Amino acid sequence: MSEKFDVIVVGAGPSGNAAAYTAAKAGLSVLQIERGEYPGSKNVQGAILYANALEQIIPDFRDDAPLERHIIEQRMWVLDDESFVGTHFRSDDYNKPPYNRYTIIRAQFDKWFSSKVKEAGALVICETTVECLLMDGDQVVGVRCDRQGGEVFADVVILADGVNSTLARKAGFHGEIQAGNVALAVKEILFMPQETIEARFNVKDEEGVVIEMFGKITDGLMGTGFLYTNRDSITLGVGCMLSDFKQNPNRTSPYAMLEKMKAHPSIAPMIAGGEMKEYCAHLIPEGGFHAVPKVFGNGWMIVGDSGGFVNAVHREGSNLAMTTGRLAAETAIAAKAAGKGFAAKQLAGYKSALDESFVMKDLHKYRDMPSVFHDNSQFFTTYPELVNRAARTMLTVDGVDKKTKEKEIFSSFRKSRSLAGLAGDAFKLWRAFR
Amino acid sequence: MSTVVNVEEKLFQNRYKVDHGRPHIKIRQPELCRNECKVQSCTFVCPAACYKAEGNGAVTLITDGCLECGSCRIICTELSNVEWEYPRGGHGILFKFG
For position A185, which CATH number holds?
3.30.9.90
pLDDT at A124: 98
| Torsion angle of the four alpha carbons A111, A115, A120, A125, in this order, in degrees rounded to the nearest 10 | 70
Shared domain for A351 and A374, answered yes or no, is no
Phi first, then psi, for residue B91 (nearest 5°) are -100, 170
Cβ within 8 Å of B, A 173-192? 176-179, 182, 184, 186, 188-189
* Gap between the Cα atoms of B60 and B42, Å rounded: 10
Shared domain for A186 and A252, answered yes or no, is yes
Residue type, A76: M
Predicted TM-score of the model (pTM) = 0.95
Q: Please list every residue in chain A whose beta carbon sits closer than 8 Å to the beta carbon of residue B97.
A: 105-108, 189, 233, 277-278, 280
Nearest residue to A335 (alpha-carbon basis) of A293, A302, A301, A292: A301
Shared domain for A348 and A390, answered yes or no, is no
Q: Please list every residue in chain B whose beta carbon sits closer than 8 Å to the beta carbon of residue A146.
A: 88-89
Q: Is residue A239 part of a domain?
A: yes
Q: Is residue A76 part of a domain?
A: no
Shared domain for A166 and A192, answered yes or no, is no
Q: Please list every residue in chain B whose beta carbon sits closer than 8 Å to the beta carbon of residue A254.
A: 45, 47
Q: What would the pLDDT profile of A352-386 be if each residue is shown by its tens digit?
A: 999 999 999 999 999 988 777 777 778 887 888 88
How many structural domains are present in chain A? 3
Nearest residue to A355 (alpha-carbon basis) of A324, A391, A378: A324
Shared domain for A255 and A401, answered yes or no, is no
Distances (CA, A) of A235 to A97, A156, A229, A274, B82: 24, 37, 7, 10, 31
Domain closes at, from A329, A356, A383: A356
Shared domain for A166 and A211, answered yes or no, is no
Domain closes at, from A224, A253, A285: A285
Mean pLDDT calculated for residue range A82-100 = 94
Cβ within 8 Å of A, B 18-37? none
Domain closes at, from A244, A262, A285: A285
**What percent of chain A lies above the pLDDT cut of 70?**
99
For each of the domains in chain B, give its residue range(s) and CATH number, in order of start.
24-86 (3.30.70.20)
With CA atoms as reference, the chain A residue closest to B45 would be: A253
What is chain A's mean pLDDT, rounded? Answer: 94
Query: Apex CA B75: angle with CA B73 and CA B76, to 5°?
Result: 65
Beta-carbon-side half-sphere exposure of residue B63 (alpha carbons within 13 Å): 24
Shared domain for A323 and A375, answered yes or no, is no
Within 8 A by CB and 6+ apart from A299, the residues are: A139, A140, A141, A155, A156, A157, A342, A343, A347
Could you tell me if the ipTM is greater than 0.90? Answer: yes
Q: Please list every residue in chain B whose beta carbon sits closer than 8 Å to the beta carbon of residue A177.
A: 70, 74
Query: Apex CA A275: angle with CA A36 and CA B86, to 5°?
Result: 20
CA A167, chain centre distance (Å): 20
Shared domain for A8 and A135, answered yes or no, is yes
Q: Is residue A96 part of a domain?
A: no
Shared domain for A311 and A232, answered yes or no, is no
Residue pair A112/A63 in contact (Cβ under 8 Å)? The answer is: no
Q: Is residue A19 part of a domain?
A: yes
Band the pLDDT of A132: cuts 50, 70, 90.
very high
Shared domain for A130 and A14, answered yes or no, is yes
Q: Please list every residue in chain A whose beta carbon sits closer than 8 Å to the beta carbon of residue B77.
A: 176, 179
Q: Which residue among A41, A105, A146 places its CB closest to the CB of B88? A: A146
Domain that holds residue A23: 4-68+104-175+293-356
Interface contact flag, A260 B13, Cβ < 8 Å: no
Q: How many residues does chain B have?
A: 98
Alpha helices (runs of H) in A153-288, residue ranges in sequence order: 166-170, 194-200, 242-247, 254-262, 268-271
With CA atoms as reference, the chain A residue closest to B24 would be: A129
pLDDT at A372: 77
Shared domain for A214 and A313, answered yes or no, is no
Q: Is residue A87 part of a domain?
A: no
* Gap between the Cα atoms of B20 and A145, Å rounded: 20
pLDDT at A434: 67
End-to-end CA distance of chain B: 27
